[in-house]
Structure 1
Amino acid sequence: MRYLLVGLCSLWLQTASAEIAMQVLDQDQQPVTDAVVFVTDKAVSSPADSAVMDQIDESFVPRVLVVQKGQFVRFPNSDDIRHHVYSFSEPKSFEIKLYKGSDIAPIQFDKPGLVILGCNIHDDMIGYIFVADNEYAVKTNEQGWVTLPVEAGDSVSIWNERFVEGVDTIKRFDVGNDARQTVMLDLFPSIEVSDHSDHGSDW
């Protein structure tokens, strides 16, 4: 019995420690916000609730939205001017013609991949919907941190719009032994984005 308890405690400790905090930095040691970090062998289900990609001050909010394959996304327009939202991306090509308000049917994103959004009226409006393939996926916060259900020997993949190799680039990194780890990315200079943090989370 004693050996069984020792074995169970050891297994519990391994399970409890199977999580790390990772910070993503650029080549100038600056935190990278809105990097999508995902773990391909950690399956999740599509949330029943719709995600929200709003339009505020002629910007997509959030600029980067993470959803799961099969999830619906709502596109309210909180501006007092009309927008014309569209995407030509292969995972989801669509358009919502000139509109205001929130009386717009949600759109289902049923294929994984990167969906780049634009507005036919305002050329500088750019947003991204990262559709995960029913796998654990999160965004880095303002300090570049994420918490991940991984352990040493696992690997994670990272996407960010600033990759010098192009916006479709995804890079893979091995997870080390430390509970807090750092990943360095070679990126274009940061993009100035209006602060809409008071308008809620991605989900």
Structure 2
Amino acid sequence: MMTSLLPLIVLGQASTVSGTLTLRSKPVGDAVVWLSGSVASKPMTAKIEQKGKAFIPHVLVVTSDSTVSFPNRDDIFHNVFAEHRAKKFDLGMYPKGQTREVTFDKTGVVSVLCNIHSNMSAYVIVVGTPFFAKTDRNGHFSIADVPKGTYKVEGWHESGATYQGSLNVAGPTNLSFNLGR
């Protein structure tokens, strides 16, 4: 009897990086943390709804070349637009039940607004890595399946506070830091 051995690919163990982000020493929600290294990201699809004269979610994180849909759930018209170096677009006015899409092909923080309702705003954070998370209201985050290695760490909050550092992941890792201006 002949036995065939299939080649095996052994990957280093992946770990979870988790922690808490603070701003002025207080836990902060809707902040974003991401780890950049040698692993490329894959495009994804995501959604920001217009509902109750608000963008939901207020902060969205996507990878480069991802497509975000903007469905209008309100009984009124909206006009979604952005004027940022990472992405400029104007979706025009459209009514309830219609959806428009945008592909975000450059990394950066894109402020999304409604040309009709000045109180509406959202942020699309476009990252070039699959390792990212948004904090919960208590500032907690968790990034799963991070391979061993050294990463550039970045943090962001809509207040303008940011963080940059480095992190060596050799197993489950706690990463907590204060966002500064």
Tell whether the 8 Å contact from 2:71 to 2:100 is kept in structure 1 after alignment.
Answer: no
Task: Quickly say closer, same or farther: Cα 1:102–1:115, change in 2 above 3 A.
Answer: farther
2:108 to 101, 104, 113: 113
Q: Confirm or deny that 1:183 pairs with 2:181.
A: no
| C-alpha contact (below 8 Å) 1:21/1:147 kept by paired residues | yes
Equivalent in the alignment of 2:48: 53
- Greater fraction helix: 1
The aligned length equals 167
AA aligned to 2:13 is T
Unmatched segments (≥5 aa) in structure 2: 1-9
Could you tell me which residue of structure 1 aligns to residue 6 of structure 2? none
Percent identity, aligned pairs only, is: 28
CA apart distance, 1:45: 1.3
- Pick closer, same or farther for the CA change 1:135–1:179 going to 2, 3 Å: closer
Cα distance in structure 1, aligned partners of 2:22 and 2:158: 14
Q: Which residue in 1 is equivalent to 2:138?
A: 143
Distance change (3 Å), C-alpha of 1:111 and 1:154: closer
**TM norm structure 1:** 0.71
Structure 2 partner of 1:200: none
Match of 1:172 in 2: 164
Shift of the 51–152 alpha-carbon distance from structure 1 to 2, 3 Å rule, reads closer
Instruction: Report the residue type matching 2:163 in the other structure.
Output: K
Question: Does residue 1:15 correspond to 2:13, yes or no?
Answer: yes
Post-superposition Cα deviations, 1:68-109, rounded to whole Å, max 9, x if no partner, equal 111111101111111111111112111122212242342211
Tell me the equivalent position of 1:194.
none
> Are 1:156 and 2:148 counterparts?
no
Larger relative strand fraction? 2
The one-letter code sitting in structure 2 at the alignment partner of 1:22 is G
- One-letter code of the match for 2:16? E
Q: Structure 2: how far apart are the matches of 1:147 and 1:54? A: 25
Within the candidate set 27, 33, 36, 2:32 is matched to 36
RMSD value, Cα: 2.5
Tell me which of 22, 26, 41 is aligned to 1:25: 22
Partner Cα separation in structure 2 for residue 112 and residue 21 of structure 1: 23
Gaps of 5+ in 1: 1-10, 165-169, 188-203
